[in-house]
Amino acid sequence: MENLLENYGAKNFLLAVSGGADSMVLAHLFANSGLKFQVAQINYKLRGRDSDDDTKLVKDFCDKNQVKIHLYEVSEKDEKPEGSIQLWARELRYKFFRNIQETENLEYLVTAHHLNDQLETFLINLSRGSGIKGLSGIPENDHKILRPLLHYPKNEIYRFAQEKGIVFREDLSNQKNEYLRNKIRNEIVPKLLETNDNFLENFSDSLAYMKSASDFLQNVVEQSFKELRTGQSDIEFTLNRKKLFSLEPFIVTEIIRKLGFSGDEIGKVRAAETGKFFRSKTHEISFERSQIICRKRAGK
């Protein structure tokens, strides 16, 4: 919080508060800091009365501390997907947050991610074959999203809540292993923590080193990308095919990743012959004899 006061003291913040221990501790710290902030809480209506009780707790806190609160309650118009509920919920809440920030002129979004979240995310990305950027963790400050609790383990946050008498609610659905993150949290992380009393501290140090290495390597990749491309537009440009595939394999992979490809797709692009066409999440690329034509997909 001292870092926030020193670097962002004159700014306005939006706090994402669910009612759990981490976000209620975050709200408590802000309420006692003198920083100007508002609160956002979203009720997904996925856990019946428990969801409503979470909302009531956050609302009561805001009423007590005279903090403006923005509530969103999911209704029938918010069609739940057949696919990933977690991805749908994430997209819904960040859209909600952005709308509030624009309307209320709140420059920074603040979330309560902590060190255990870092470990879970690292393991998820590792299981999915992520690149070095994905393995360098959740950033502390990323596109005006601040995460001041990121270096603190969950047990310290719970201990602080107990010492300060901070009321919070437990999301019992986190105990179910239906989702990958819950399975990692409940089954894998406890085993890792048993191996070494300093596991989380050592992990945090390694992650910081990984991020430093990632930042350096990304600068190398960016420079190589600039040297390869022809055309000033981000919508359509070409890459020198011969020069690209003469680079170190790591740099080739990261440049292909920049074009929106991941996993097995990267290998297919690397092995492509003249005339091949590929479509990623963000780009369409076609291989010609001496160059690769790249077009950004509409709306991406």
Residue 22 among known ligand-binding residues: yes
Enter the DSSP assignment of 247: S
Residue 53 among known ligand-binding residues: no
CB-CB contact of 17 with 26 (8 Å): yes
Residue 58: how many CB atoms within 10 A of its CB?
28
Q: What's residue 132's pLDDT?
A: 87
Domains assigned to the chain: 2-206 (3.40.50.620), 231-296 (no CATH)
The CA–CA distances, whole Å, from 43 to 48, 50, 203, 259 equal 10, 10, 33, 36
Query: Per-residue DSSP letters for 95-124?
Result: HHHHHHHHHHT--EEE----HHHHHHHHHH
Residue 264 among known ligand-binding residues: no
Mean pLDDT by 10 residues, the chain (300 residues): 67 95 97 94 86 96 98 75 74 94 96 97 92 90 92 96 96 84 96 96 96 94 95 91 96 95 92 96 96 90
Residue 215 among known ligand-binding residues: no
Q: What's residue 86's pLDDT?
A: 78
Residue 19 among known ligand-binding residues: yes
Can you read off the two tokens belonging to residue 174? 């986190």
CA 21-23-59 angle, to 5 degrees, is 100
What gap in Å lies between CA 89 and CA 183, rounded to an integer? 19
What gap in Å lies between CA 119 and CA 203, rounded to an integer? 8
Can you read off the two tokens belonging to residue 295? 């077009």
Residue 298 among known ligand-binding residues: no
Q: What's residue 77's pLDDT?
A: 60
User: Judging by beta carbons within 10 Å of its beta carbon (0-12, 13-18, 19+), is residue 131 exposed, middle or buried?
Assistant: middle
